[in-house]
Amino acid sequence: MNDFLKLSEIKERINVKKVTNFNYIKKNQTFIQKFRLENQIKELPGLPNIAYSLPILSFVDKEDNFVKEFSFFVKVIEGTCISNILQYMKNSISEQKTTGDKSEILCFLGGKGSSGYNEYSIHNIEIISEEDEEIPSTNANYLNIGVLLPNFDKIDENNSVLDIYTSDRKPFEIENEISKVISFVTAGSVIKVKEDKTELYKVGKSIDNSKYNPLYKKNAIIFGNSYLIKLEV
């Protein structure tokens, strides 16, 4: 019983006032109805139109104010294409600040950009120096803050807290119905790495999943790589 908090000890261990004043952020999800005009797109009169729902996410703080500023983390290898692009964008923002121009880069992070969704303005790009170890520490836990299709040979799933997400929508048109779907480990999951001196970068690297779906090209990495932060607790 030493591993559990007794009901009689709750008031002694937990300060209710501090918990109430905690500055949290809450995620809300709503849906809007969309229609796909199949008969017009495929130019085949008589095809029924397809109705589907589009999820809309919003984030609010404890005062119900919408949160509009976000930080995105990406782990890249120096000298690669994405590394060079991020460096170019960083230099561009710095030049805009020097000349007094509006320092921002408009971009779309996600689908439905043509409909005006997922539009962001990048105001700053920072390079975080990695002083932490490349080899995971013994008994260390890591917070996943990205979308991850992991190699479970590198994860101790029995001692991890994994939230698995599977879309309930059909994201692709696949002929000769395939019985496989893509699920992934969501942000906020806590990952315990197996103690076999695995490089942390490889743990956060999404597996090649083109073999599970014939629509993807060979060696396709659908969700890219995740970003893992060492938990101090």
Mean pLDDT (the chain) is: 76
User: Alpha-carbon distance 160 to 148, whole Å?
Assistant: 14
pLDDT of residue 99: 82
CA distance 19 to 22: 5
CA proximity to 74, closest of 147, 135, 134: 147
pLDDT digits (tens, 9 = 90+) for 212-227: 555 556 555 566 678 8
Q: Find the mean pLDDT for residues 139-166.
A: 83
Question: 209 to each of 114, 212, 217, how far by Cα in Å?
Answer: 27, 5, 10
pLDDT at residue 60 in the model: 93
Please give the Cα distance from 207 to 196 (Å, whole number).
Answer: 19
Judge contact between 25 and 57, C-beta under 8 A: no
3-state secondary structure of 155: strand
Q: Is residue 166 a contact partner of residue 183, using CB atoms and an 8 Å limit?
A: yes
Q: What is the pLDDT of residues 93-107, one digit of tens each?
A: 988 888 877 778 888
Q: What is the pLDDT of residue 34?
A: 79
∠ CA(108), CA(112), CA(116), 5° rounding?
A: 70
Give tens-digit pLDDT for 50-95: 777 788 889 999 888 999 998 887 777 788 888 899 999 999 998 8
Number of other CB atoms surrounding residue 32 within 10 Å: 9
Q: Is the pTM of the predicted complex or chain greater than 0.85?
A: no
Rounded average pLDDT over 183-200: 80
Max Cα separation, the chain?
A: 70
